Amino acid sequence: MSVGSLSVLRARTADTTRRYQLVAVARISHAHAGSPSKSNRPNLDRKWTAPSRQGHEKSCNVRAPKIENGHEYQPDVRDGGKVKGPGERTQTCALLLAFSVGAVACLLGAGSPATPSAPAVPAMPITVAVPPSVSGRPAGSCATLLSGLAGRDQLAQLVMAGADPGRETSTTALVRDDHVGALFIGGTSTRLLTGGRLTAIRAMASIPPLIAVDEEGGRVQRIDDLDGTTPSARALATTATPDQARDLGHRRGRQLLSRGVTMDLAPVADVSDAPANSVIGDRSFSAEPAVVTRYAGAFAAGLRTAGVIPVLKHFPGHGTASGDSHRELPRTPPLAVLENHDLEPYETLIPAGAPVVMLGHLDVPGLTGGSPASLSAEAYRLLRGKYRFDGVAMTDDLGAMRAITNRFGLPEAAKRAIAAGADLVLWSSPMPVAPVLDQLQHAVATGELAQTRVREAVTRVLHLKTGCAR
């Protein structure tokens, strides 16, 4: 996940598991024959022909566990399913029609899966579509932008700091005083996501920061209380076409952008058939690499057309790993196995234009030598070499996931990640930025962190944010 922050609550009995399964209510409220009309769809460059299918809006109550900023909350089912504290309130899936213009059933495992015959993976535009009102200065040379930054400010560009979503002043200080390159908005408060607050905070910086959230759908959502829920990846791949997944990504992206969010730490490109409520579970589109490739690519392309940056995660593959990186360092199958299974989506989606890849905290036999991939130079070399990725490589949460915190403090973990090859280091909870920048500055001064590595990383981040020429 990228939602890492605090410990994950895992206590669950068999009865509880059954009670939190998706409950289908067979109520058909609308019927739409054939494929949805093109006039109702976003103007998207389609790379496949979706099969005509008869869709129906089905209503269902969702009481599945929800992950918020690393916590897995148990929904409170009292008071008609409404939230009593952190949790998932009962909502209908009727608003799926608002997101994917075709009718998408929200039943997990109900109906026949939508399986188009060998559609091409859509290309993701290389240039980030950032609205002029928040893009800051016109794009020029990345070298020129970089030369205008002091040494500490260059290092700050490599930081995605967790913001307190309920405290606008402290978030403002991260940009105004610490000059961080990116903010992660976690937690449950929606204050920062309303009233144009994030857009105003971005406007304070000469090079506006990236604003990121976790908006995968299903258990991992950030704007559901504001803009309604969306299905999990697994439910989407089971009940919708890739074309509809792209439309959903586009609609959700427009909603995120309207709230000042410019990056979505999604889609999950992990390949998994694990139970829905496991660490990856229904956050994965499928146990089949080809299905994951089609749907992750479609959702990511939809985000891009909306002007939001997607992030593929968790390289080199959390789907078949044993363990949960929130609690421990998980171990994956050997690299040779991953290359023929878990890594297949990256082999296709990176050439299609994926702009950002998140590395997981994963021990990969034959690659990382017992270290987390997020801190492993070998893992970054694999990503850059064999998979020819030249975009921004970022870490999973370094501040609250025990795969990291059991070994290193945040400043040391950030230094090791950047030295290994990360361009952007993430921590999801509000934590001081100064100690991290102090550690990075010291590492540069002593030669432990090469200046060429810093310039390379900052250049990638600036290119992603501004479209500047490299």
What is the separation of C-alpha 311 from the centre of its chain, rounded to a whole number of angstroms? 5
Q: What separation in angstroms does the CA of 171 have from each of 159, 178, 179, 264, 379? A: 14, 10, 11, 18, 32
Specify whether 153 is catalytic.
Answer: no
Cα dihedral 411, 414, 415, 418 in deg (nearest 10): -170
Span between the terminal Cα atoms of the chain, in Å: 31
Tokens of 389: 């990725």
SS3 assignment, position 254: helix
Q: What separation in angstroms does the CA of 81 have from each of 87, 258, 432? A: 10, 29, 37
CA-based nearest residue to 160, from 466, 428, 432:
428
- Measured between alpha carbons, how far is 299 from 104 in angstroms, rounded to an integer? 15
Per residue, the 3-state secondary structure of 22-38, as one string, reads CEEEEEEEEEECCCCCH
Specify whether 341 is catalytic.
Answer: no
- Measured between alpha carbons, how far is 210 from 264 in angstroms, rounded to an integer? 10
- Measured between alpha carbons, how far is 308 from 200 in angstroms, rounded to an integer? 18
Q: What separation in angstroms does the CA of 167 have from each of 61, 223, 259, 365? A: 33, 17, 16, 42
Catalytic residue, candidates 396, 397, 423, 463: 396
Catalytic residue, candidates 71, 314, 326, 463: 326
Show which residues are catalytic.
Answer: 326, 396
